[in-house]
Amino acid sequence: MDKSINTFKELEDICKKNNKQIYEVIQKYEAELAETTEKDIRLLVKKSLDAMKESIKNGLQSKEMSISGMCGDDCDRLQKKYQKEGAIFGKTFEKITTYALATIEENLRMGKIAACPTAGSCAIVPSVLVGVSEDLDIQEEDQINALITAGTIGRIISNKVALAGAVAGCQAECGVASAMAAGALTQMRGGSIPQILNAVALAMKNLLGLTCDPVCGLVEIPCVKRNPFLAIHAVTASELALAGVESKIPLDEVIDALEQTGKLMSPMLKESSQAGLATTKTALNLKEKLFK
Amino acid sequence: MKQTSIIDIISPVMVGPSSSHTAGAIRLGLLARNIYNEMPDKVTFKLYNSFAQTGKGHGTDKGLLSGVLGLNVDDTRIKDIFNSDLAKEFEYEFQYLEDFNRHPNAVDIIFEGHRNMKISGNSVGAGEIEITNIDEFSVSLTGKYNTLLLIYKDVPNMISRVTNSIHVNIASFHCDRYAKGEEASMCICLDGEVNQKVIDFLYLIEDVYMIRYIKKLES
């Protein structure tokens, strides 16, 4: 096996040296690590991809509310709006935003999802990957390639920062999901490896400091709406990167900043619901009603 | 550095809404089921701290019960488990408590039946779990390894007699006891598998009271 791949610089160098795409290098690397075949790794990735498509499909058809009753019918609302009047940016925008709401609402009503990287951020990668694949007619093998790249981005970040709101805030959950989606999308659209990594850096940089302050301690407010927002955010990063816009701060250094910001962030803003949105007057009223 | 896999990042496929409060709860239930390994008459779940405060909204209660009933993290029956025929197998009860000496996501699962057993554990994040106590013994079980658990009399040479019989590489090893010469526990995490012959052989060792072979959980 090549030496271990724990930074984006190492990833880029190995791809360059062997003249290979990220997914080619990583599926081989993962197969050797797990003492299995590249085909088996791809099957595991496909299992996740299939689950993502299933949660989109189920979510689009439901408006069942969560156990708390706070969320669950916004995807239906958005679909009705689009039926009446399309989105300003067209079909792809419609797909990404509805697929994101469909998936995250499926999560909160205890439906089946793929945690990517976490349950509360599970809609960002699938909505971009599946929505764009449908519109650009991207085949399943290339979708799997993109999901391998998304997983690679998350894995390298997780070497430095635990992908958990309680450890580093939402920047490490929805933030990282958006960075993963930006890289995956850039690859699907034929971007070069530097462009893929730039898309990741641009997306990540713009989400540093994002806190985790869930109302009533539940994965609902603000998590549900944050998913479609950060899916579109990933598209913005990808467009910039494909245009040749570069992050002046190299990606590995952006991840250092992510780690440091997570450490400096008050524990009150890291999934403990002791500050921020969670302690607003309305949130406290909701909490009182819910736990009565 | 512990290597993670890209597969860990893009999965598990699970029922929502929370990896720590739902998937972790299901896995705690599953591992407790494997440890108890009998049909109970009644199971009491004591949920602590964040598990108690946000557990209902996250389906932590449904997850714990479903795990004890043997359902996996991606089983869509979990959502309606309270109305399912499966849940009629034994009595169950939930208690919601606060104890800041315990982990934020801690649970005691108390089995009553032919044998009584109290199993305590935590959901430590991203669906990962740890069982920390069985009855009053401290243990360290994560569900990642096939594990042999023995309760035996604390007498000399017990460890060598056991380890000489298993012929599988040991990943980690943990012992605890009430007091010298009294009941003790041995928790052996294995890289491979042991067969029934080995377990039967271990039962032949004098002063072994109980053996459980706890299979690792699906990741």
The interface pTM score, or ipTM, of the predicted complex is 0.95
Percent of chain B with pLDDT over 70: 98
Phi and psi at B23, nearest 5°, equal -60, -45
User: What are the 10-residue block averages of pLDDT along chain A, 292 residues in total?
Assistant: 84 97 97 92 98 98 95 98 95 97 97 96 98 97 98 96 92 98 98 98 98 95 98 98 98 98 95 94 94 74
Look at residue B4 in the predicted model and tell me its pLDDT.
80
Q: State residue A79's pLDDT score.
A: 98
Dihedral sign for Cα atoms in the order A92, A94, A100, A102? negative
Quickly state the pLDDT bin for B211 (edges 50, 70, 90): very high
Tell me, yes or no, whether B118 and B181 share the same domain. no
Distinct helix (H) and strand (E) counts, chain B = 6, 11
Which chain A residues contact residue B58 at CB under 8 A? Answer: 67, 218-219
Do B98 and B17 lie in one domain? The reply is yes
Helix axes A223-242, A193-205, angle to 10 degrees: 140
- Residue B122 distance to chain A (closest CA, Å): 15
Q: Which of A1, A219, A287 to mutate to test the interface with B (most CBs of B within 10 A)?
A: A219
Are residues B39 and B115 both part of a single domain? yes
Residues B107 and B199 in one domain: no
What pLDDT, in 10s, does the model give residues B88-129? 999 999 999 999 899 989 999 999 999 999 999 999 887 889
CA dihedral of B137, B171, B127, B123, whole degrees rounded to 10? 20
Please determine, for residue B173, whether its predicted confidence score (pLDDT) is greater than 90.
Answer: yes
The reply to whether residue A217 touches residue B125, judged by beta carbons under 8 angstroms, is no
**B182 plus B149 within the same structural domain:** yes
pLDDT given for residue A1 in this prediction: 53
Residue B180: what pLDDT?
92
Instruction: With beta carbons under 8 A apart, name residues in chain A contacting B53.
Output: 217, 291
B24 → chain A, closest CA residue: A119
Strand partners, B147: B189, B214
- From first CA to last CA, the distance across chain B in angstroms is 20
DSSP annotation string for chain A = -PSP--SHHHHHHHHHHHT--HHHHHHHHHHHHTTS-HHHHHHHHHHHHHHHHHHHHHHHT--PPPTTSSSS-HHHHHHHHHHHS--TT-HHHHHHHHHHHHHHHHHHTT-EEE-SS-STTTTHHHHHHHHHHHHHT--HHHHHHHHHHHHHHHHHHHHHS-S-HHHH-GGGTHHHHHHHHHHHHHHHTT--HHHHHHHHHHHHHTTTT--B--GGGSS-TTHHHHHHHHHHHHHHHHHHHHTT---SS-HHHHHHHHHHHHHHS-GGGBSS-SSGGGGSHHHHHHHHHHT-
Evaluate if residue B1 carries a pLDDT over 50: no
In whole angstroms, give the CA distance from residue B94 to residue B44.
Answer: 6
Task: Report how many Cβ contacts below 8 Å link chain A to chain B.
Answer: 142
Structure tokens at B194: 């042991």
Whether residue A2 is contained in a domain is answered as no
Q: Which of residues 198-217 of B touch A (CB under 8 A)?
A: none
Q: Which of B56, B178, B192, B51 lies closest to B121 in space, CA to CA? A: B51
Do the beta carbons of residue A227 and residue A124 sit within 8 Å?
yes
In a domain, A84, yes or no: yes
The answer to whether A114 and B13 have CB atoms below 8 angstroms apart is yes
* Residue tagged 């019960």 (tokens): B65
Give residue B134's pLDDT.
93
Q: What is the CATH number of the domain that holds B66?
A: 3.30.1330.90
CB contact under 8 A, B6 and A30: yes
Which among B1, B4, B14 has the least Cβ separation from residue A119?
B14
CA distance A18 to A16: 6
CB pair distance less than 8 Å for B11 and A120:
no
Element (H, E) at B149: strand B146-153
Q: Number of structural domains, chain B?
A: 2
Distance of CA B21 to the CA centre of its chain: 16
B79/A contact by beta carbon, under 8 A:
yes
Residue A2: predicted pLDDT: 54
Q: Which residues of A touch B76 (CB under 8 A)?
A: 111-112
The answer to whether residues B167 and B212 belong to one domain is yes
Res B56 pLDDT > 90: no
Closest Cα in chain B, distance from residue A184 (Å): 12
Residue B164 at interface with chain A, using a CB cutoff of 8 Å: no
> Could you say which of B83, B110, B135 is where a domain stops?
B135
User: pLDDT value at position A114?
Assistant: 97
Domain range spanning residue B219? 144-219
Range of the domain at A50: 8-290
CB contact under 8 A, B11 and A164: no
Separation in Å, CA of B174 to nearest CA in chain A:
27
Contact A48 B10 (CB under 8 A): yes
Q: What is the pLDDT of residue A12?
A: 97
- pLDDT of amino acid B109: 98
List the CATH number of the domain containing B176: 3.30.70.260
**Domain-located, residue A81:** yes
Spatial separation of the C-alpha atoms in residues B115 and A43, rounded to whole Å = 42
User: What's the domain count of chain A?
Assistant: 1
Of B13, B22, B76, the CB nearest to A114: B13
Q: How far apart are the first and last CA of chain A?
A: 57
Residue that terminates a domain, selected from B75, B102, B135: B135
- Domain final residue pick, B135, B160, B182: B135
Same domain, B195 and B128: no
Residue B42: both structure tokens together = 């009644």
Q: What is the mean pLDDT of residues B184-211?
A: 93
Please give the Cα distance from B92 to B33 (Å, whole number). 14
Give the tens place of pLDDT for each residue, B4-37: 899 999 999 999 999 989 999 999 999 999 999 9
Residues B131, B148, single domain; the answer is no
Instruction: Give the pLDDT score at B3.
Output: 61
Which residues of chain A lie closer than 8 angstroms to B59, CB-CB?
67, 110
- Same structural domain for residues B126 and B187? no
